[in-house]
Amino acid sequence: MALPEHATTALCQATPEDVFVRGKSLCRELIGKLSFTEMLFFQILGRFPNPAQTCVVDACLVTLLEHGLTPSAIAARLAYTSAPEAMQGAVAAGLAAVGSLFVGTMEGCGELIARILAAGSDPGAQAAEAERIAREHRAARRALPGFGHPTHKPDDPRAQRLIELAREQGVAGPHLQAVLSLSRAIDEGYGKHITLNATGAIAALLGDCGVPREILRGFALISRCAGLVGHIHEEQRQPALRALWEAGERAVPYQPAPSGVGLTTPNAASDELPKG
């Protein structure tokens, strides 16, 4: 693809007197005027959220900030203990664990919501597409992003509160209706209730706030970054690495493989092991 003759950015310019973000003076128009949630919305999307959207987006960020010793928190703690001189490395390690199975599942759920909305505004057509999605995932035995949770059963209280808040604020819209339609189709197709979890609700609510689905996971990263700093600070004061390490060794004990199984045969022409 040909590169533009003159590359530009609309995000920021720094001068000796000020910093300008999307044409607004950081010092005169943004600092002390916007909350962090409003500022990130403005910087990412180029527009200011209305008060209801600010409330809902802020609630989504609060929801994702902390959920215990999940893979991302454990990764951050382990990395920090190994390299305490580089907190940013520990946070980066934790953020690397925000993916399609943990925390970042709103991205996959957003794609399913987009499929339902693409079926048209007719509720019947949307319900049919939701049923198709449920059948496809069950037949392929694929996980449904945004649904199911090992702890929160039969319902995820975080999702319920977020949906309640969105309705109170008048933000609930077509994305929420689509994910609720999908939830009904999943329950019917699987013959049992599968909870709509927090990331599924967040995918819908951020969509109704105008956040494009391709950056949904970015909001999870923003929130979880703050949570990881909290885990690192606790690790500084109350180290948990040794307990985690020992628990891992107890859970996965050493068991030698039977003779000749899983061993690499040395190269006959050399004393070195084969490279690969």
Instruction: Write the pLDDT tens digit of every residue in 8-48.
Output: 899 999 999 999 999 999 999 999 999 999 999 999 999 99
Q: Answer yes or no: do 60 and 151 share one domain.
A: yes
- Cα–Cα distance for residue pair 267/69, rounded to 1 Å: 44
CA neighbor of 61 nearest in space, from 89, 34, 40: 40
Q: pLDDT at residue 104 above 80?
A: no
Q: Are 98 and 107 in contact (CB under 8 A)?
A: no
Does 267 reside within a domain? no
In this structure, the answer to whether residues 132 and 184 fall within a common structural domain is yes
Answer whether 164's CB lies under 8 Å from 196's CB.
Answer: no
DSSP state of 89: H
User: Could you tell me the pLDDT band of residue 7, with boundaries at 50, 70 and 90?
Assistant: confident
Region 45-65: mean pLDDT is 97
The mean per-residue pLDDT over the stretch 54-68 comes to: 96
> Does a structural domain hold residue 45?
yes
The pLDDT of residue 276 is above 60: no
And the tokens for 220? Answer: 């999870």
Structure-token match 């927090």, residue found: 198
Task: Give domain status of residue 261, yes or no.
Answer: no
Residues 99 and 149 both lie in one domain: yes
Residue 215 or residue 1, greater confidence? 215
Least Cα distance to 149 among 216, 101, 97, 95 occurs for 101
Is residue 274 one of the residues assigned to a domain? no
pLDDT for 273 beyond 80: no
| Spatial distance between the Cα atoms of 119 and 139, rounded to a whole number of angstroms | 21
Amino acid, res. 201: A
Q: What share of the chain has pLDDT > 70, as a percent?
A: 92
Does residue 55 register a pLDDT over 60?
A: yes
In a domain, 256, yes or no: no
CA 140, 144, 148: angle at the middle one, nearest 5?
130
pLDDT of residue 232: 95
25 with 145, same domain: the answer is: no
In this structure, are 30 and 160 located in the same domain?
A: no
Distance CA 51, CA 276 (A): 57
pLDDT-derived band at 268 (thresholds 50, 70, 90) equals: very low
φ and ψ of 17, to 5 deg:
-95, -20
What's the pLDDT at 1? 64
Residue 137 lies in domain = 50-248
User: What is the overall mean pLDDT for the chain?
Assistant: 90
Q: Examine the pLDDT at 275 and tell me if it is beyond 60.
A: no
Question: In terms of domains, do 26 and 73 share one?
Answer: no
**pLDDT at residue 102, rounded to an integer:** 74
Residue range 148-207, pLDDT digits in tens: 988 888 999 999 999 999 999 999 999 999 999 999 999 999 999 999 999 999 999 999
User: Tell me: the pLDDT tens digits for 163-177?
Assistant: 999 999 999 999 999
CB 64 within 8 A of CB 224: yes
131 contacts: CB under 8 Å, gap ≥ 6: 185, 188, 189
Alpha-carbon span 32 to 23, nearest angstrom: 17
What residues contact residue 166 under an 8 Å CB cut-off, 6+ apart?
A: 56, 172, 176, 205, 208
Residue 15 resides in a domain: no
Say what the pLDDT of residue 260 is: 62
Extract the tokens encoding 199.
Answer: 């990331």
Has residue 253 been placed in a domain? no
Is pLDDT at 59 greater than 50 in this prediction? yes
pLDDT value for 263: 54
Helix axes 71-82, 241-251, angle to 10 degrees: 120
Name the E strands within 79-158. none
Both structure tokens of 55:
């409330």
Identify whether 176 is part of a domain.
yes
In a shared domain, residues 112 and 239: yes
User: What's the confidence (pLDDT) of residue 101?
Assistant: 73
Q: Residue range 112-122: average pLDDT?
A: 96
Residue 40 identity: L
Mean pLDDT of the 258-262 span? 68
For residues 49 and 259, which has the higher predicted lDDT (pLDDT)?
49
